[in-house]
Structure 1
Amino acid sequence: MESTDRKFAKLQEIIHRHGGQVSHLIAILQEVQQEYRYLPEEVMTFIATALNVPPAVVYGVATFYAQFSLAPKGKYVIRVCNGTACHVRGAEPIHFALRRALGLAEGQETTEDLQFTVETVSCLGACGLAPVVTINDREIFGQLTPEDTVRVLQALQTWESRGEGGSASA
């Protein structure tokens, strides 16, 4: 785990890059979340202090926008589209197959080892490829079956166990 001094130095660097302006709060939170994979409470308090605003302001923004998370996310965030086209073409069985393969309990989104988070989203904007899954908002997999999805997950787990992690495309 990184030291407290280093954590806050990185935060200070992000805030400084945005001129310490409250008007840049969303951009600051986006960078912080990219760095830490979520927004820890002590980090939001630090940001509030650095920007000279009440912590409730930072917390309010962080909880208003769905893009922010107050809970740790996995190294790999898998998003299953459940928009109309994806839903009709089988998004739900894909979602269940991923959860089963990762051993996620009811209400649990992230694996205990913080490697994988599975989320359902309203639309990924790739309806022509339905059903669609993304990994870390970089890789898009379309026209999937539950079996295809589990194979992609298994490939990613294999690469991760070899220390090659990062890409699940074949």
Structure 2
Amino acid sequence: MLSAARHLSRRLPTAAAGVQVRSMGHAQSFHINTPDNTPETYFDFTDENYTRVYKILSKYPANYKQSGIIPLLDLAQRQHGGWLPVAAMDKVAQIVEVDPARVYEVASFYTMFNRTKVGKYFIQLCGTTPCMICGSEDIKKTIEKHLGIKNGETTKDGFFTLLEVECLGACANAPMIQLNDDYYECLTAKTTVELLEACKAGKPPAMGKWGSLPMNGQVSCEGPLGKTSLLDGPPAPPKVDVERFKGGEVDPASVKAHMGY
């Protein structure tokens, strides 16, 4: 046992006293049982979500059900309050008819899946270079001070979880956070506190026209002068033959044959 412990200690990262190490991931790659998360814990999709399950699987050939692992895991996570218990992963494995390990490796690889409980409002704070230069460290300190938590922690009331992550692709509107599914951008310490207080009241600000909300009043990525290019509107989409599927839906199982595979 002692030898095994020494071997494990050589593999785990350590930090010098007083040195803050920034984690590049959000969870361990292995499962640890907790009272509400064991293989024996019950999980099943609701009747409403089973309708979505069948719709998801209908998009893939019958012999490629495993292609639905990611959307099914996402559906399970949303049903379960924003995180995935191991029982939900087992249910997905059963539905797509693969070994559970195939599902575990997907859930542990993609950071969109939370395998431990998170708060009602899951704050992912971008700390990559553009956001860092524009003040993400100040936003992080503001959140930690206002909520009384540190990076990776959840408030005692279960409302907020804070996690610093890598680039979320909104560099033009740095600094920013992803709050559950939504982007709140161009943050300052003041607007960050206002956002947190609105969430506490159960009234997070509605998304803007383009699916994100710069908190400085601008529209999407437009600068202070507003829209200065593409003033004639978006280009016309290519014409599509509206009768291309006339006579019935395409059978996904036959797609490979049609394409000569």
Q: 1:124 and 1:106 mapped to 2: Cα distance?
A: 17
Specify every segment of 5 or more residues in structure 2 that has no aligned partner in the other structure, as ranges. 1-41, 207-212, 216-261
- Contact 1:48–1:54 (CA<8 Å) still a contact in 2? yes
Q: Secondary structure at the match of 1:18?
A: helix
The alpha-carbon deviation at position 89 of structure 1 amounts to 1.6
- Contact 1:79–1:119 (CA<8 Å) still a contact in 2? yes
Mapping for residues 84-95 of structure 1, pairs under 5 Å: 84-95=129-140
Alignment length, in residue pairs? 159
CA RMSD in angstroms, aligned pairs only: 2.5
* Residue matched to 2:184: 140
Specify which of 109, 127, 131 is matched with residue 82 of structure 1. Answer: 127
User: Does residue 1:28 correspond to 2:72, yes or no?
Assistant: yes
**Which deviations, in whole Å up to 9, do the C-alpha atoms of 1:77-129 show, x marking residues without a partner?**
22222121110121012112212211214642x22332112222222222222
**Which structure: larger Rg?**
2
* Residue matched to 2:156: 112
User: Does residue 1:38 correspond to 2:76, yes or no?
Assistant: no
Specify which of 7, 13, 18 is matched with residue 56 of structure 2. Answer: 18
Q: 2:168 and 2:174 mapped to 1: Cα distance?
A: 10
User: Does residue 1:127 correspond to 2:147, yes or no?
Assistant: no
Q: 1:87 and 1:72 mapped to 2: Cα distance?
A: 27
User: Does residue 1:167 correspond to 2:205, yes or no?
Assistant: yes
Q: 1:147 and 1:166 mapped to 2: Cα distance?
A: 15
Q: 2:110 and 2:45 mapped to 1: Cα distance?
A: 24
Q: Secondary structure at the match of 1:120?
A: strand
Amino acid of the structure 2 residue aligned with 1:26 = I
The alpha-carbon deviation at position 28 of structure 1 amounts to 1.0
Label 1:149 to 1:9 Cα distance change in 2 as closer, same or farther (>3 A).
closer
* Residue matched to 1:65: 110
Bigger mean CA deviation after superposition, 144-153 or 86-95? 144-153
Amino acid of the structure 2 residue aligned with 1:76 = Y
Q: 1:107 and 1:79 mapped to 2: Cα distance?
A: 10
Q: Secondary structure at the match of 1:80?
A: strand
- TM-score calculated relative to the size of structure 2: 0.54
User: Does residue 1:54 correspond to 2:99, yes or no?
Assistant: yes
* Residue matched to 2:145: 100
Q: 1:148 and 1:18 mapped to 2: Cα distance?
A: 39
Give the number of the structure whose residues are more often helix, by fraction: 1
- Percent identity, please: 34
Q: 2:157 and 2:128 mapped to 1: Cα distance?
A: 29
Label 1:95 to 1:57 Cα distance change in 2 as closer, same or farther (>3 A).
same
Label 1:86 to 1:105 Cα distance change in 2 as closer, same or farther (>3 A).
closer
- Contact 1:14–1:32 (CA<8 Å) still a contact in 2? no
Specify every segment of 5 or more residues in structure 1 that has no aligned partner in the other structure, as ranges. none
- Contact 1:72–1:114 (CA<8 Å) still a contact in 2? no
Label 1:72 to 1:150 Cα distance change in 2 as closer, same or farther (>3 A).
same
Label 1:87 to 1:137 Cα distance change in 2 as closer, same or farther (>3 A).
same
Q: 1:107 and 1:121 mapped to 2: Cα distance?
A: 10
- Structure number with greater CO (CA < 8 Å, separation at least 6) is 1
